[in-house]
Structure 1
Amino acid sequence: MKTRFTTTLLVTVALAALAAHAPAMAEVKLGVAGPLTGPNAAVGEQYRRGAEAAVKALNAAGGVDGEQITLVYGDDASDPRQGVAAANELVGEGVAAVIGHYNSSVSIPASTVYAEEGVLQITPGSTNPQLTEQGVETVFRTCGRDDQQGDVAGRFLATAYKGRKVAVLHDQTTYGKGLADATKARMNGLGLTEVLYEGITVGERDFSAVVSKLKAANVDAVFFGGLHNEAGLILRQMRDQGLKAQFLSDDGTVSQEFWAITGPAGQGALVTFGPEMRDQPQAKDAVARFRAEGYEPEGYTLYTYAAVQAWAAAAQKAGSVDGAKVAVALHDGSAYDTVIGPLTFDTKGDPAGGNYVLYVWQNGKMVQLTDAQVAKLGQ
């Protein structure tokens, strides 16, 4: 007669044997690359939060084609060389795709690594046109391009500051200078010529020399192409030296870190960025979950979330996570539902209909301006 202990033991052994021979649950590795450390770590945090939230939701719904998604991180610290190293490490990890990078000067060389290995790349924040002008079928972005952003900034300056003195500054990076040049070209094409065009060095903290030049030129407005660290310091030092000129910058300053640097000096600063997505119906549930966790999904958080969603939906449609096959699905003209709205990619890998609008910093928050409000600026 078997005892209860013997029966329990036999069942336990049998279950252990079944577990030992059962196939492991399949998983897909998805890379997330960006500045997780360094001067732009605040944006790296946006990337991490967005990717983790999207993957959590996808896995809860069954993953991709029945396979769970595991995130693998690559820290580029906003440095091109480290970005290439991170790209090689992610490829070595066997990732199916990479969501990243942030800086265009990092994304462009890293894209070569991914392309050679057939790894799909979707960047939520690299806006330099060169990235998708390379003719690489596996490169995409969920954000707009700097020729679009420069068009908005240049048109605004040429209209609001017609016949007045405008300066154009940039940080000499692929992103910052490229955007400054696009803004300058549009502004010049509409009849407004800058009185000062100057490059600064990333990492500088004392901009008294360039501020003195701005004061000497008696400028009415300043456009800066670059990121939040330098932008915040330039603006604060402008105000400290009594220069009240309008300050306009770009999506590289879309972070609370900008206000942390400027403090009240940031009041009234203008920013070009995509339309506010947190208030859109398609983002409602995701935003609520972020806020319930005590996190405000600013900047590129939702663009990262959307990049993961677009990749997953295209992989599901392709029936494969193979980079080339997923790229075909993303290029086929389909509209993929995401937290930033339906995404349809053109032949270059850019989102169709990308656009930019103007925001103003008010009491520590970025507020999107209406057309009527924009029309009153500079008067």
Structure 2
Amino acid sequence: MKARFAITLLATAALGALAVQAPAMAEVKLGLAAPLTGPNAATGEQYRRGAEAAVKALNAAGGVNGEQVTLVYGDDASDPRQGVAAANELVGEGVAAVIGHYNSSVSIPASTVYAEEGVLQITPGSTNPQLTEQGIKTVFRTCGRDDQQGDVAGKFLATAYKGRKVAILEDQTTYGKGVADATKARMNSLGLKEVMYEGITVGERDFSAVVSKMKAANVDAVFFGGLYNEGGLILRQMRDQGLEAQFLSPDGTVSQEFWGITGPSGEGALVTFGPEMRDQSQAKDAVAQFRAEGYEPEGYTLYTYAAVQVWAEAAQKAGSVDGAKVAAALHDGSAYDTVIGPLTFDAKGDPAGSSYVLYSWQDGKMVQLSDAQVAKLGQ
């Protein structure tokens, strides 16, 4: 009896030792850096939803190189200093790559943190050219650039409002001023000079002074370089003061929050953004899953999903999650299949062939306009 008991104890001890020595299930950490709180939390939600859905699908298919992927969150609150702090925290957590940030003024300083540690960065929404002009080989984006976006906006204004009065407003951030200046440069090159160029302050709520100035100048169109909070307030206050000028803004206002601020005042407002992807075949399954969960994948949701996809595909191709090796795979000219279509990256880390089109807010929804519809605007 004692002998059997001793054998049992030995067997139990051996099993315990094996359990201790057995390796834990392998996992790789992927950072998500976004304004999860603060004034742009609605866009942060787009990032979060897109990343979580992509990681869920990725893990269900076996993960990356046999490892499950775990998301680690970094909240930058759209603040450059908090963004750098979040970047350092994510690096400290040992993330293999970071999907983020949103604001260019946050992505640019954070990119140096990631670069120093060899951590790959893919932003779904930072459009300022400076980000990829730094020459950092581990920085990529799935969205386009403001010089491309400004080209479309500037050409539209110069064509539709030729010989008429256009005002340009910007929020004095890296993104807002950058896209406003790109729009201005293109518009000016085509022969149309703005009658006003004004900077506004992020967080401000009373724009009556600048609206009165535009009304006195009898402007026909307004381009606003900035985000949905200030853009929505400016447009609503324009309409409240009886200024019916055409309002045009860039991708920073692509959020249902914009309409939530403007209400019916937003009807007919124009936006530049990438072509609609939600009804494309490559996005069909992902969009259906989002909608089944009661979420509409607007704005940068699919761009974030795509960022996770290209990272995972490149890591699989490289056979490693090492930042330099994954970057080399992304730079090799291959096309990576994503929910926003195939993406091929140039030497700077920008997606080749990025394009912007015009949308119009109609009854609370953004509707992509055809060339024929755009041609009728401003008449």
TM-score (norm 2): 0.97
* 1:83-102 equivalence runs, <5 A: 83-102=83-102
Are residues 1:328 and 2:331 paired?
Answer: no
Are residues 1:164 and 2:156 paired?
Answer: no
Q: Which residue of 2 aligns with 1:235?
A: 235
Partner of 2:259: helix, strand, or coil? helix
Could you give the per-residue CA deviations for residues 39-74 of structure 1, whole angstroms, max 9, x where no partner exists? Answer: 000000000000000000010111000001000000
Q: What is the distance in 2 between the residues matched to 1:316 and 1:9?
A: 45
| Moved beyond 4 Å, runs of 4+ | 7-18
Are residues 1:194 and 2:194 paired?
Answer: yes
Deviation at 1:20, TM superposition (A): 3.2
Q: Which residue of 2 aligns with 1:79?
A: 79
Deviation at 1:23, TM superposition (A): 1.2
Amino acid at match of 2:185: A
Partner of 1:229: helix, strand, or coil? helix
Q: Which residue of 1 aligns with 2:267?
A: 267
Q: What is the distance in 2 between the residues matched to 1:231 and 1:87?
A: 28
Instruction: State the identity %.
Output: 90
Are residues 1:286 and 2:291 paired?
Answer: no
Partner of 1:62: helix, strand, or coil? coil
* 1:33-112 equivalence runs, <5 A: 33-112=33-112
Aligned CA distance change for structure 1 residues 367 and 15 (closer, same or farther; 3 Å): farther
Q: What is the distance in 2 between the residues matched to 1:43 and 1:16?
A: 48
- Aligned length in residues: 377
Deviation at 1:21, TM superposition (A): 3.0
Q: Which residue of 1 aligns with 2:148?
A: 148
Q: Which residue of 2 aligns with 1:299?
A: 299
TM-score (norm 1): 0.97
Q: What is the distance in 1 between the residues matched to 2:9 and 2:57?
A: 39
Partner of 1:44: helix, strand, or coil? helix
Q: Which residue of 1 aligns with 2:345?
A: 345
Q: What is the distance in 1 between the residues matched to 2:307 and 2:30?
A: 11
Q: What is the distance in 2 between the residues matched to 1:16 and 1:211?
A: 74
Q: What is the distance in 2 between the residues matched to 1:329 and 1:255?
A: 33
Q: Which residue of 2 aligns with 1:4?
A: none
Amino acid at match of 1:26: A
Q: What is the distance in 2 between the residues matched to 1:253 and 1:9?
A: 67
Q: Which residue of 1 aligns with 2:319?
A: 319
Amino acid at match of 2:103: N
Where does the alignment leave 5 or more consecutive residues of structure 2 unmatched?
2-6
Amino acid at match of 2:117: E
Q: What is the distance in 2 between the residues matched to 1:99 and 1:135?
A: 19
Could you give the per-residue CA deviations for residues 276-298 of structure 1, whole angstroms, max 9, x where no partner exists? Answer: 01011000000000000001100
Q: What is the distance in 2 between the residues matched to 1:108 and 1:359?
A: 28
Q: What is the distance in 2 between the residues matched to 1:99 and 1:8?
A: 51
Q: Which residue of 1 aligns with 2:4?
A: none
Bigger mean CA offset, 17-26 vs 189-198? 17-26
Amino acid at match of 1:137: K
Q: What is the distance in 1 between the residues matched to 2:15 and 2:44?
A: 44
* 1:249-268 equivalence runs, <5 A: 249-268=249-268
Cα RMSD over matched residues? 1.8
Q: Which residue of 1 aligns with 2:116?
A: 116
Could you give the per-residue CA deviations for residues 103-122 of structure 1, whole angstroms, max 9, x where no partner exists? Answer: 00000000000001100000
Partner of 2:29: helix, strand, or coil? strand
Deviation at 1:357, TM superposition (A): 0.2
